[in-house]
Structure 1
Amino acid sequence: REVGQAVRAAVANGVPRSELFVTTKIECCPGTAFMGKMGPLECLTKKDPAADVAHNMRVLGLDYVDLLVLHWPCDDLDASVHAYEAMVQSYRSGGARALGVSNFNASALASFLPRVSVKPVINQCGFSIAGHTEDLWGRDDATKHASEAYNMTYSAYSPLGGWAKGGTSHVLSDPTVNQVASAHNTTAAAVALRWVTQQGVVAVTSSDKASHIKGDLASFELSLTDEEMASLATVQ
């Protein structure tokens, strides 16, 4: 709700809507096979994915969103396709400018894409230093390469490593990361972000501190060597 209010206020104050990018996701509760040892998530979603889309749009109070994403694969392929096709209806009616998926690994994409009428443009997965070898949620190099092969943008949430070790990031205190940061006179966070974006991956991060946001943007000025990229890839 607050996002929608902020967007409307910005537009009312002269910010072109085209300069703002709004993303929303609908849930699709994954089953045990997808979640592995963690077990299934508590399913908060309604049984009707079209109602989920309508609910999000109503809460946002916007005419359209720029990106509508299916948050997880569902319990089975048919359910995933059913949920996604509800999103397609929003896309075709102008409620969403683009569609995407999240946490789809390479095998899930291979099964899913031939079944849908509009191809998703993005696959958003956890991806970071020390968090790029686990295919359960598409947090692996193979899923990155598969997404690119399907001409989909591969986007990284938790690019600083928040999902690498049970939700607590150790990346910023890792000796190798800090050694590279010292060599470039920059921060460990800048190195972690640049390792992701230098591979052509779109990193999604946020902060409530202006200094952190400026540091995130400054990371694009950093150029890591091939040797540094390879060394950072070995961090566990």
Structure 2
Amino acid sequence: MPTTLHPPVLVQNDGLPIPQIGLGIYGPDDNEAADAVVNALATGYRSIDTAAFYLNEAGVGEGLRRSCIPREEVHVTTKVWGDDHGYDEALKAFDRSLSSLGLEYVDLYLIHWPLPAKDRYVDTWRALERILRDGRAKSIGVSNFQPHHLERLFADTEIRPVVNQIELHPGFQNEAVREFNAEQGILTQAWSPLGRGRVFESADLMKIAQKHSRSVAQIVIRWHVELGNVVIPKSVTPERMKENLNVFDFTLDENDHKTIRNLETGARTGDNPDLFG
């Protein structure tokens, strides 16, 4: 296996690139996050996904600095949490995130959840539009938005999200949201792409993995890639990081895809965006 592996990039609706595979940093504290970022960038990752809610933005920034990879070569995503919905609140939250990261800009800033009960995501989005125009975020997007949340943004604001980051894995394939995203020119980014480990219990996925002489994780990540998703598997282990990135020298056949389609259960591992918050 090569020492470094660089994933391909997809093009967002604003014309900017995003690596198709990135590293999710949900879970590690600052120290572990810094080490994970250093190891990921040494492996070949060029996309790091964090959030204010993860409480490790400072560690991500430290890892970026320790890596000595030029800033412009690394795609950095963070997110505004629900406590900071609203125009002024979101602007202040972005300032805190940028300070924690120790960066002058982020590549992608997302609304973490729509929180429809609060009904402030439109004002929050207007703050993101301001941040974009000020050049402090190169692109803006959303996470966990359903089609009707997006339609309201389309009606009441000016700029369309480039990405919608949603729960997506073989057990919960979120087809309706994926299709809506594609129709609207929005990239689908998969969080919990391995179903929080549930995929490793699937006998069908084990058979496909054996057929291709790959791991179950590699099969599922390859499935995401072939669907056209951006995918951000989590890991703090260098060998697992390499494994997750090494999925571009084989392809799944139609029988593989049919088998995986049949793994849909409709069961989320996370919250329902229409009910959360």
Secondary structure at 2:154 match in 1: helix
Q: Spell out, residue by residue over 1:2-25, the C-alpha distance to the aligned partner (whole angstroms, 9 max, x if none).
A: 222232344xx4x32211111110
Q: Which of 218, 223, 227 does residue 246 from structure 2 map onto?
A: 218
Do the aligned partners of 1:172 and 1:192 also contact (CA within 8 Å) in 2?
no
Shift in CA distance, 142/4, structure 1 to aligned 2, threshold 3 Å: same
- What is the identity, as a one-letter code, of the residue corresponding to 1:121? V
Shift in CA distance, 74/170, structure 1 to aligned 2, threshold 3 Å: closer
Q: Which runs of 5+ in 2 are unaligned?
A: 1-57, 266-277
Of 147-156 and 105-114, the range deviating more from structure 2: 105-114
Is 1:20 paired with 2:74?
A: yes
Is 1:109 paired with 2:150?
A: yes
Do the aligned partners of 2:106 and 2:137 also contact (CA within 8 Å) in 1?
yes
Shift in CA distance, 51/226, structure 1 to aligned 2, threshold 3 Å: same
Q: Which of 45, 51, 74 does residue 84 from structure 2 map onto?
A: 45
Q: Which of 86, 99, 104 does residue 63 from structure 1 map onto?
A: 104
Q: Which of 213, 225, 233 does residue 185 from structure 1 map onto?
A: 213
Distance 1:179 1:193 in 2: 16
Count residues with an aligned counterpart: 205
Distance 1:16 1:148 in 2: 32
Q: How does 1:122-133 map to 2 (within 5 A)?
A: 122-132=163-173
Do the aligned partners of 2:77 and 2:108 also contact (CA within 8 Å) in 1?
yes
Runs of 4+ in 1 over 4 A off after TM superposition: none
Do the aligned partners of 2:85 and 2:120 also contact (CA within 8 Å) in 1?
no
Partner residue in 2 for 1:2: 59
Do the aligned partners of 1:26 and 1:52 also contact (CA within 8 Å) in 2?
yes
Distance 2:169 2:179 in 1: 15
Distance 1:46 1:198 in 2: 35
**TM-superposed deviation, 1:46:** 6.7
Distance 1:120 1:46 in 2: 17
Secondary structure at 2:84 match in 1: coil
- What is the identity, as a one-letter code, of the residue corresponding to 2:63? A
Partner residue in 2 for 1:32: none
Partner residue in 1 for 2:5: none
Is 1:95 paired with 2:136?
A: yes
**TM-superposed deviation, 1:153:** 0.8
Distance 2:138 2:74 in 1: 13
Q: Spell out, residue by residue over 1:125-159, the C-alpha distance to the aligned partner (whole angstroms, 9 max, x if none).
A: 01111111xxxxxxx10110111111111110111
Do the aligned partners of 1:161 and 1:170 also contact (CA within 8 Å) in 2?
yes
- What is the identity, as a one-letter code, of the residue corresponding to 1:148? A
Give me the TM-score of the superposition, normalised by structure 2: 0.70
Q: Spell out, residue by residue over 1:185-227, the C-alpha distance to the aligned partner (whole angstroms, 9 max, x if none).
A: 1111111111111100111113121211111111222211111
Give me the TM-score of the superposition, normalised by structure 1: 0.81
Q: Which of 182, 187, 204 does residue 148 from structure 1 map onto?
A: 182
- What is the identity, as a one-letter code, of the residue corresponding to 1:175? A
Do the aligned partners of 2:85 and 2:121 also contact (CA within 8 Å) in 1?
no
**TM-superposed deviation, 1:75:** 2.8
Q: 1 or 2 for the larger relative contact order (CA 8 Å, sep ≥6)? A: 2
Q: Which runs of 5+ in 1 are unaligned?
A: 29-43, 133-139, 163-168
Is 1:54 paired with 2:82?
A: no
Partner residue in 2 for 1:82: 123
